[in-house]
Amino acid sequence: MLKKIAKKIFPGVSWKNPIVNFVFKLIDPIDYIARSARGLSYLPPYSIRVRSTGVSKECLAMNFYKDGVKFSNLLKDHASLNSESKVLEIGCGCGRTAFALSSILDDGNYYGVDIEKISLDSCKKRPIFLKKNFHFEHLDIQNDEYNPDGKSRADTYKFLYDSNSFNIVFMISVFTHMLTDDVKNYIAEISRILKPEGYCMFSTFLMDHGRNSNTNDLSFPYNESCHYFHNQSMPEIAVGYDLDFYVSEFASVGMTLAGDPLWGSWRKNPDITTTTGFGPDEFGQDILFFKKENEKEK
Ligand SMILES: C[S@@+](CC[C@H](N)C(=O)[O-])C[C@H]1O[C@@H](n2cnc3c(N)ncnc32)[C@H](O)[C@@H]1O
């Protein structure tokens, strides 16, 4: 009931509301003391972290650092990440995975881009990234949830990187905020900028199981083009796709599914075993890996 009232007063994401944002800023000093005691003083403040990971999960940075380490382990295990890998993170937010990667990658091998300026600017200021020469760039791309006044469009955007530049491109909780034509363009761009045999890892809500089950925390009752969505008035809040959509889009640009999908816990369905390595109350999305074919072997 309280949740329903809160949703009516504060539509969309809560951190966009100036009053809520003000309250988050009041929590920042307490958050700083608590996370400093755990050796995490270098992380961004609570009021910034909530933009990436949500309000409840981000309390005292309980999940932020741990999640980043788990994502980097997935990249090691399924995408051949090593200290020499040249990595692009699209939608890096305030650096959840970049912090973990800073102890794995050599200087200058990480590039992070995002459309949400406050989170991105926070990355640019973190001393740990300055020391490591990590690169961050703001993309002024329009998205109703994250950058409503953006000047460029995700469905036609060309990344400013040369073809065959990266060993790994990854996205955590980014396609979950993007509509069909935007995702199609990003997939084509990802294939272009990946080196042959490079990997793409991304998280998503796969619609193949439990799209409308009432055991879910989330349901996706609406459908347009290839995307399913949760909120009719702002689809970008939570978007899902079928596995077949990804398989055929990646195939059209020379990339194939690398390994089985890793199933997340967002469905709360006991019949679907979680295989991402995240616990039931941790990061809940499904995770996929695609590999770019080696032209010479074709
Ligand atoms: C839920 S947050 C996740 C942030 C970060 N990946 C993490 O794991 O903490 C979603 C992020 O996707 C970014 N985003 C949304 N649409 C995007 C687009 N078209 N291109 C790049 N980033 C985008 C948002 O600005 C936001 O930072």
Domains parsed from the chain with CATH numbers = 2-61 (no CATH), 64-297 (3.40.50.150)
* Per-residue pLDDT tens digits for 110-137: 999 999 999 999 999 999 999 999 999 9
Angle at Cα 242 formed by Cα 270 and Cα 115, nearest 5°?
Answer: 105
* Cβ atoms of 179 and 227 closer than 8 Å: yes
Tokens of 17: 């509301």
* Per-residue pLDDT tens digits for 188-201: 999 999 999 999 99
* Cβ atoms of 53 and 64 closer than 8 Å: yes
Task: Please provide the average confidence, as pLDDT, over all residues in the chain.
Answer: 90
Residue ID of nearest Cα to ligand 1 atom 21:
91
* Per-residue pLDDT tens digits for 214-252: 667 789 999 999 999 999 998 999 999 999 999 999 999
* Cβ atoms of 191 and 253 closer than 8 Å: yes
What is d(CA 267, CA 244) in angstroms, rounded to the nearest whole number? Answer: 19
What is d(CA 94, CA 290) in angstroms, rounded to the nearest whole number? Answer: 25
Distance (Å) from CA 169 to ligand 1 centroid: 14
Q: Name the helix (H) or strand (E) containing 196.
A: strand 194-204
* Tally of CB atoms within 10 A around 134: 26
| Residuewise pLDDT in 10s, the chain (298 residues) | 554 455 445 545 667 788 888 888 999 999 999 889 888 999 999 999 988 877 766 776 778 889 999 999 999 999 999 999 999 999 999 999 999 999 999 988 999 999 999 999 999 999 999 999 999 999 999 998 889 999 999 999 999 999 999 999 999 999 999 999 999 999 999 999 999 999 999 999 999 998 887 667 789 999 999 999 999 998 999 999 999 999 999 999 999 999 999 999 998 877 889 999 998 888 999 999 999 998 765 5
Return the best residue to mutate from 56, 116, 239 for the ligand 1 pocket (most ligand atoms within 8 A of CB).
116
* Cβ atoms of 106 and 80 closer than 8 Å: no
Return the best residue to mutate from 99, 174, 201 for the ligand 1 pocket (most ligand atoms within 8 A of CB).
174
Which pLDDT belongs to residue 62?
A: 73
Distance (Å) from CA 9 to ligand 1 centroid: 24
Distance (Å) from CA 91 to ligand 1 centroid: 4
Q: What's the DSSP call for residue 297? A: G
Distance (Å) from CA 114 to ligand 1 centroid: 6
